[in-house]
Each structure stands twice: as structure tokens, then as C-alpha cells.
Amino acid sequence: MSAQPSPEVSYRALLRVPTLGRILLATLIARTAQSMVGVALVLFTLETYGSSQLAGLVTFAALFPGLLVSPIAGALLDRHGRIRLVMLDYAVELLALGLIGSLALVHALPAVVLIGIATISSFTAILSHTGLRSLFPLLAPEHLWERVNAVDSNGYVMASVIGPPLAAGLVTILGGATALIVIAAAFGLAALPMIGVSDPPTQTTSTGRLLVDAWQGVVYWWRNRTLRGLGFSITVLNFAFGFNTIVIPLIVLRVLGASEFAVGLVFAATGVSGVVSALYFGRHDTRGREWRMLVVPMIALAPAYALMLPAAAGWTGLWLGLGCLVLSSLIIGVLNGPMDIALFTVRQRRTDTAWMGRAFAVSMAANFLGFPIGAAVGGALAAISMPGVVLLGTGMIVIAAGLAATMIPRQEATSTAVPGALPDAKTD
């Protein structure tokens, strides 16, 4: 009796998974728009109001409130499917950014209204971020998880290559308000490939009560040692990257005296190197090596981040300062590749399928929590000392590496053995 042939493990095999290609196209467009929003909002706020503190606060408002409702968002995703809720977020983003841009054009956008609109739009953002991330392992067979995670990671890094320079160029040419309206239209474009796509069938563990389901998702996350360890370590790491959102534009514009377009190029450098890195590490089986692929690059991130210090302190001229920023971004992109692949696959392997919506929502929110807080704190501290912010960010990375090394298990049982299902839960 002949042995069964091994399943094809290639990037081409992903394209043969039904509807996956359409979803990946929508994801790329949406993530490019999302990467543009971060840069465009900061530049728009600096251009319109001239305040680094307000820029940090707007970034915080656009991200943080939605993280607080992540358990409810996860429960909704598990109970009602992912596609329609992802499209709902794209519609909200279109309306919110279009409204900000339109009000700004007619000079009817006080700072409090800007913060209010950003806050409202943040509540649905977790739906698309978590919905897509938990959809990929349901669509792709397990032997293709490394491949689909590499494509997923590269969706982010490709967006970071295209989005920030494009956003900065639009702000330079059209002005911040019009740039935001253009970005709003991109979210509408992202929804088009998803029209008619159905959710894959999957079992869902549910009590039938939304708030109870949401709370159980939090408990499941807390009981899962891997998800809990990721939550503590990655959120501290994201403090440093939240600082970057505000500090890099300020270094480029105010310390080095360069243009908005240079801001986009510095951010894009991370994506350029990250594309190559993610594709390379996505070709390799990560089983048994996830801990090492997370911790070792995280340790190396600290000196890479500290390379920004000479430019932040004004010790360099224009070109040497930009060189320090670009070199730091390039190295960070290389290190992000193995970290992303390991992060995505270890979370998938150690989460039960029926809990992916809630567990991923809480996990991703916990992981990302440091970013908006870092942006707000970075905006305030940058007005006092930009070198101090860079040093603080470097210290945060060191702490994050220590937390990852001590809290994330090197090995853990497969996802079906992960504790977390509560006694009153049922599968339907």
C-alpha cells in the first residue's frame, strides 16, 4: 500500500484555498490604509494644531478605547462570524476619516471634536484586526500556517513600506485634511473584494449570553500561560513602538529639519527589511522554536532602537541623522520577521479553535495596549526631552525581553489541552 503524498507546502498552495486570495487582497488594501492613518493623523495634527501633546493624544484616542471592548468584540466574532464585522469596521473608518477631513476643510474641527471622532472610530477597529487574524487559521490548513502567517505579516510590512511615504506625500501635496479623505476612500475600496465571501464553518463555544462569553474570553486568555506571557511582554515592547509614532516625525521635522516625505521613508525602511525577513522565516517550520524566535530578536531590538539617540539628541547633521534613523528602522524590520511568524503560529497552536475569536481579541488587545499609551506618553515627554524618550524606549525593550524569556513557556501542550473552557460553556 503506497504512502500518502505529503501535502504541498508552498506559497502557491495558499492561492488554491477558496476565497483566501480575495481576503488577502482586501487585507493588503486595508492595512495600507491603516498604516497611512497613523502617519497622516500625526502630521495632520502637527500641521493644524502645532502640538506634539495633541498628536499623541489623538493617536491614543484612535487606538486605546477599542482595546477596552476587545472581549466583547471577540465574543461577537465567535458568535456572528468575521466577514460582516470586518466590513463594518471598514465602513466606520471611511465615515470617520471622511468626516475629520471634511470638517477640517471648512475650519470646523476643534481639537475636542477631532479626539471625539477618533475615539468613536476606535471601537470597531478591533473587529477587523482580530477578525482577519483569527480567520486565516480557519481558512488555511495547519500545514500552511507558517506560509499564511508569513503572508499576513508581510501584509503589515508591505503596508508599512507603501503607506507611510504615500501618506506623507499626500499630506505634503494635498494637505492633511484632503489626505485623510483619500485614505477614507481606501477603506471603502478594501471592502469590495470581501462582498459575497462567506465565513468558514467552525464550532463556537458559547453560553448564549454576550457579556458572559466576553468575560470567559478574558478568563481563557488569563489561564493560557502562552497568551498571558505574550500579553505582558509584547505590550511593554509596544510602549517603545508607540513612542516612535510621535518621536520619529518630531526628530525628522524639528531636529533634522527635513520634510514630511522623509518621515514616511524612515517608517518605510522597517517594512522593506521586514518583507524579506518574514518571507524567509515563513518558509521554516516553527514548531519547538517559537520561544527562541521571540526572545532572541527581542533582545537584539534594544541596541537597534538606541541607534536613534544621536539624531534625537541633535548630535548629527541632516544626512547622518537620517542615516541613523533609517539604519535603526532596517534592523528593527529584520528582527520583526521571526518575531511575527513565531507570535502568530504559537498563538494559533496554543488556542482552541472554538475560542479563537475571543482569545485572539483579548490577546491582540493585551499585546497592543502599550502602543497607544506609548504614543500619548511619548507625545508629552517629547516636549521635554526627545533623547530621554529614546532611552526610555530602549529600557522598555529590555524589560519586554526579560518578561518574554520568563513568562512564555518554551513548550506547551497542543491547543486542545490548553485550559480555559468554563463549566457552563456549551458548543453550538
* DSSP character string of 353-399: GGGHHHHHHHHHHHHHTHHHHHHHHHHHHHTT-HHHHHHHHHHHHHH
Which pLDDT value is given to residue 140? 77
The answer to whether 200 touches 137, Cβ cutoff 8 Å, is no
Taking 80 as the threshold, does the pLDDT of residue 333 lie above it?
A: yes
Show the DSSP H helices in 251-369 as ranges.
Answer: 260-281, 290-306, 309-312, 318-349, 356-368
Half-sphere exposure of 399 (CA within 13 A, CB side): 14
Taking 90 as the threshold, does the pLDDT of residue 128 lie above it?
A: no
Bridge partners for 426 per DSSP: 206
- Computed over every residue of the chain, the mean pLDDT equals 83
**pLDDT tens-digit readout, 194-228:** 888 877 766 666 666 778 888 888 898 999 999 99
Distance between CA 111 and CA 41 in Å, rounded?
A: 12
Among the ranges given (189-193, 286-290, 304-308), the one the predictor scored with the smallest mean pLDDT: 286-290
Distance between CA 228 and CA 168 in Å, rounded?
A: 37
Choose from 116-130, 171-185, 363-377 the range with maximum mean pLDDT: 171-185
| Domain-wise residue ranges, the chain | 19-194+210-412
Whole-angstrom Cα Rg for the chain: 21
Domain 19-194+210-412: CATH architecture, name and number where available: Up-down Bundle (1.20)
pLDDT range class, residue 427, cuts 50, 70, 90: very low
The CA-atom distances, in angstroms, between 407 and each of 124, 225, 288, 327, 411 are: 30, 7, 16, 31, 12
**pLDDT tens-digit readout, 239-262:** 999 888 888 988 998 889 888 888
Half-sphere exposure of 408 (CA within 13 A, CB side): 27
Q: Which three cell numbers stand for residue 220?
A: 481563557
Classify residue 152 by burial, with Cβ atoms within 10 Å: 0-12, 13-18, 19+. Answer: buried
Distance between CA 373 and CA 56 in Å, rounded?
A: 9
Of the chain, the percentage scoring pLDDT greater than 70 comes to: 89
Taking 70 as the threshold, does the pLDDT of residue 7 lie above it?
A: no
CA-CA-CA-CA torsion for 352, 356, 362, 365, nearest 10 degrees?
A: 130
Distance between CA 59 and CA 44 in Å, rounded?
A: 11
Bridge partners for 205 per DSSP: 427
Q: Which residue has the higher pLDDT, 362 or 90?
A: 90
Taking 70 as the threshold, does the pLDDT of residue 138 lie above it?
A: yes
pLDDT range class, residue 421, cuts 50, 70, 90: very low
Distance between CA 319 and CA 332 in Å, rounded?
A: 20
